[in-house]
Chains A and B, each alone.
Chain A
């Protein structure tokens, strides 16, 4: 069966520090991978998605970047965090767009 792992579950980082959130998928190959930010009143905002290794589509100009160094690994990064980067980040995988499977999320607080 397929599983998705996302870590850490919570993270507190100072302004200006770097960020690396990791997401890995098991039990499938060549999945679509997605990063979303979930915020009250703003719903699920698509940040990045990837259809293959090294292929990243960015949806929202921002202080974040994404990479896919391996088929089942998706990383969300920042060189210098801003206060506005605080939020709940969700990783998801899918076979095509037929169904997306979500991780448990990371609560990021920038202080």
Chain B
């Protein structure tokens, strides 16, 4: 069964600190892995997308890593800002054959940045 597990479920850190969010998956055949940021009351917004051959990808202060062997990904946030407070959702895409790639969503990590 395709599954995406994210940890921690929630996290509170002080402004300016770094943090790392984890995503473990059992999805196959793997196509790509995306991280989305979802602000409260808004739709998710794509941060990064990585294919099998990509180990790391950065988007400003966000850096995502992917280890396709262990089926793990992390999202590292550097020098956190209050605006980083949001839910971060890991989404793994699998090849479904004819039609769109299937998507398996994690439940997200709820991150709170405190001043």
Query: Is chain B found bound to chain A in the same assembly?
Result: no
B residues whose Cβ falls under 8 Å from a Cβ of A:
none
